[in-house]
Structure 1
Amino acid sequence: MRRFFLCGTGAILVVSALAACQQKQEVAESEIVRPILSTVLKIQPVQIRGFAGKVEPRFETQLGFRTLGRIVRRDVSVGDQVSNGQEIAAIDPLALELAVQAAEAALSSAKAQLANAATTEDRQRALLGQNSATEAALEQAQRAHEAAAASAVQAEANLTKAKEDLGYAILRSDFDGVVTSLQADVGQTVTAGQLVAVVARPDIREAVVDIPEAIAGTVKVGSKFQVALQIDPVIRASGTVRQIAPQADEATRTRRTRITLEQPPEGFRLGTTITAYLTTAADPKIHIPATSILERDGKTFVWLIDENLGTASTKEVKLESRTDAEAIVADGLADGDRIASAGVHSLSEGQKIKMTDGKSL
């Protein structure tokens, strides 16, 4: 019995020693000054949202040959400026030239037949006056004359069409603009209407952005945007919404919005990437980053920072809604509160903290 009592006493001493060590460890951990990332909750009177996009022309034309042929020449490249009527490309004109020659020959033949029919009609009329021919013969000559005249008109129309088709062998620009795309090269056979080049008018430029459907509902035709170049945000231009897609894209759930730029600087070249900024009245609700949320025992907490004591303590909050990026707080926080925005699982109650810039709270 005595030995058992000694063993029991030893066990009690060991447990007491472990408890003391654990208590010392907790005290030591509470005294560790941990650097953290934090954010101050502040309700802004206005909210500015930015949407990435690019500069596109308002007017552009897709050009293609009106007849089948093989491209033998292309005189422009992407980015070249072209004037109204300038040649862009050409197809082999040999078949079209032969068609013109055939139409000219057919017209000459039709004119000869017309002249012969007119002479025959005059002769039959003279013979009828001398009672040497019948009226039936004269009527037949008149019908032949009319048929020859119609054939001559048809041959002349065919020649006009053949010459017009020959003109289609050269692709020309319809206005002053910039070549933004080329879809065919020399040696390629193209069909009538197949896209060869795209020419855009650079005088009227637009910023084209995709706006999430939830925000697009607040944007209307005529809404104002500030548009800045991504390569140099100092260069800016104002713009007005001209068009909003009536339906959202099925994949991205965004609506394509076209913003007409008002006297944009030279830096706003076609294809340049931009950011369009929309300024709206801010949501009076408090938004917090999703990384600041701590969940324990079915409740939601954040680490509230006491700037006077330099410590962090948990604060229970109620959320109205939550996404992967942020959450809206329904109750528990106020404007001006500072909370930890990252590392919420590595903090302990009452722990000493400091800002990441080295400034102790």
Structure 2
Amino acid sequence: MSWSRFPHLVLPIAVLLLLAGCQKEEEQATEVVRPVLSMIVSERIDAAASFAGKVQPKVQTELGFRVIGRLVARDVTVGDAVVAGAELAALDPTAFELALRSAKADLASAEATLSNATAAEERLTALLKTDTESQATVDSAQQSREAAQASLIRATAGLAKSEEQLSYTKLKSNFDGIVTATGAEVGQVVSAGEMVVTVARPGERDAVVDVPDGIALFPIGTPFSVALQINPDLKVNGTVREIAPAADPVTRTRRVKIALDNPPVGFRLGTTITATRQGAEHELMLIPSTAVFEREGKRFVWIVNERGGDVTAREVEVGADVGGLRPVTAGLKPGERIATAGAHSLEEGQKVKISDGARS
């Protein structure tokens, strides 16, 4: 098509193309401003709190038989004190006694076979000296004697195994303790390894409490005062030794174990207690765990510059994650705004816009 035939269309089309090019350049030059969720850092009072719980053993062992069988005796129940070596339960030993008798018979047979093979070898060796027997016959007798010796060793090991299997029909305590649970009744067939009796060491005891998720911000070693609910005047000191890494999905609580320091006799296993955190109230600066990211082994957060509308990475020191929050020990001041989401996708100096869902 020749444009000379339509001169009146050339100028408008050129203007439109020029405007379209300028618009593309303006769009490319416009920097994308990303909306971010953010919050203003503040301090809150972490008051001493009390939690109800129970006294539980620090160490308890679930004991079970090493072999399968029918339970014919259980000599203990919950609350009984046992000593090391005490018999706790027993299985029907009939099948194992029969196996032991068979092993003894195999051993007697192997001993008799070895005795005959040894005597035969000695006779043939003596005849070989008088040239009345061949060397091949003597060698065959020697091989028979060696085979009999191997059979005796196997029979001896079989007897020892049968005796050990028979001993497995009796369940004994490995240490002094208290029975805290039972898992089988007389007449029940139990599998190898199935819990029959649980024995706890009474010396070392814990106060076990369930703390609502998000409150358990105290670290390992935090001191507590533990008192009996039946007698609040009877108290003992303790320190946190273990905090469950995850909350119970149903109750949304974390199990906290407090090691008791020389608990008196009144702190019996199963006793209900009240654990109260020691120390004066103090302030905590808490931020969401999603606001923290790591680079080269260091932890950072994004500081939102409300005037410039950009973000800057700043190194911080934070405690362990508990309930999705982390206490800040250094690097932040109250009143500063930080990004709380998308920390791994932001860049230094990136323009951002505070989202409507930002925390004040």
Please indicate the TM-score interval, normalised by the length of the shorter structure.
Answer: 0.5 to 0.7
| 2:238 counterpart residue number | 239
SS in 2 for 1:264: coil
Letter in 2 for 1:269: R
Aligned to 2:224: 225
SS in 2 for 1:270: coil
Task: Work out whether 1:212 is the aligned partner of 2:217.
Answer: no
- Equivalent residues in 2 for 1:23-38, closer than 5 Å: none
- Quote the Cα distance in structure 2 between the aligned partners of 1:283 and 1:89: 54
Counterpart of 1:78 in structure 2 is 78
CA contact (8 A) 2:180 2:198 kept: yes
* Aligned mates of 2:60, 2:113 — CA distance in 1: 50
Q: Which residue in the other structure is 2:270 paired with?
A: 271
> Alpha-carbon deviation of 1:113?
0.5
Residue 198 (structure 1) aligns with = 198
2:50 aligned with 1:50: yes
TM-score, normalised via structure 2 length: 0.63
In the alignment, is residue 166 of structure 1 matched against residue 155 of structure 2? no
Deviation at 1:279, TM superposition (A): 3.2
- 1:154 corresponds to: 154
Partner in structure 1 of residue 259 of structure 2:
260
Alpha-carbon separation, structure 2, partners of 1:249 and 1:134: 83
Paired with 1:283 and 1:49, the residues of 2 have a C-alpha distance of 12
Structure 1 distance, partners of 2:279, 2:77, is: 43
Judged with a 3 Å threshold, the aligned counterparts in structure 2 of structure 1 residues 188 and 45 are, in CA distance, closer, same or farther, namely closer
Residue 316 (structure 2) aligns with: none
Give the deviation of 1:45 after TM superposition: 8.9
Please report how far the alpha carbon of residue 57 of structure 1 lies from its aligned counterpart in structure 2 after TM superposition: 0.5
| Corresponding position of 2:250 | 251
Match of residue 182 from structure 2: 182
Q: Please give the secondary structure, in 1, of the residue aligned with 2:214.
A: helix
CA 1:283–1:222 in 2, change beyond 3 Å: closer, same or farther? closer
Question: Structure 1 vs Structure 2: percent identity of aligned residues?
Answer: 51
- Structure 1 residue 135 displacement after superposition: 2.0
1:245/1:255 contact within 8 Å kept: yes
| Contact 1:53–1:273 (Cα < 8 Å) also in 2 | yes
Offset from partner CA, 1:196-250 (integer Å, 9 cap, x none): 0101111111111122332323x22221111111222221111112222233333
Q: Which residue of 2 aligns with 1:105?
A: 105
Residues 278/109 of structure 1: CA separation in 2 closer, same or farther (3 Å cut): same
For the residues of structure 1 that align with 2:150 and 2:46, how far apart are their CA atoms? 77
Q: CA deviation at 1:191?
A: 1.6
Is the Cα–Cα contact under 8 Å of residues 222 and 242 in structure 1 kept in the other structure? yes
For the 8 Å contact 1:46–1:281, the answer to whether it is kept is no
Answer yes or no: is the 8 Å Cα contact 2:69–2:189 preserved in 1.
Answer: yes
Q: Distance in 2 between matches of 1:145 and 1:46?
A: 84
1: CA distance, partners of 2:136 / 2:67: 48
Deviation of 1:183 after TM superposition, in Å, equals: 1.0
1:284 offset after TM fit, Å? 6.2
TM-score (norm 1): 0.63
Return closer, same or farther for 1:163/1:284 CA change in 2, 3 Å cut-off: closer
- Report Cα offsets for 1:271-320 as digits up to 9, x if no partner: 112111113553669xxxxxxxxxxxxxxxxxxxxxxxxxxxxxxxxxxx
Q: Does structure 2 retain, via aligned residues, the 8 Å contact 1:121–1:141?
A: yes
Deviation at 1:179, TM superposition (A): 0.6
Residue 114 (structure 1) aligns with: 114
- For residue 46 of structure 1, report the CA deviation from its aligned partner: 7.7
The residue identity in structure 2 corresponding to 1:63 is L
SS of equivalent to 1:48: coil
Unaligned runs of 5+ residues in structure 1 are: 1-43, 286-361
Preserved CA contact (<8 Å) 2:68 2:191: yes
Distance 2:135 2:253 in 1: 82
1:290-301 aligned at under 5 Å gives the runs none
Distance 2:283 2:113 in 1: 91
Deviation at 1:110, TM superposition (A): 0.3
Give the CA RMSD over aligned residues.
2.2
Deviates more, 1:175-184 or 1:116-125: 116-125
- Give, in whole Å, the separation in 2 of the partners of 1:148 and 1:158: 15
Structure 2 distance, partners of 1:99, 1:265, is 50
Contact 1:107 1:152 in 2 (8 A): yes
Q: State the match for 1:67 in structure 2.
A: 67
Structure of higher CA gyration radius: 1
2:133 corresponding residue in structure 1: 133
Cα drift, residue 47 of structure 1? 2.4
The amino acid across from 2:239 in the alignment is T
Change (3 A) 1:284 1:46: closer
Aligned residues: 242
Q: CA deviation at 1:185?
A: 1.0
C-alpha distance in 1 between matches for 2:232 and 2:94 = 54
Matches of 1:235 and 1:171 in 2, distance apart? 38
Secondary structure of residue in 2 paired with 1:216: coil
What is the alpha-carbon distance in structure 2 between the residues aligned to residue 255 and residue 137 of structure 1? 80
Write the deviation string for residues 162-199 of structure 1: whole angstroms up to 9, x where unpaired: 11111112111111111111111111111211110101
**Shift of residue 142 of structure 1?**
1.4
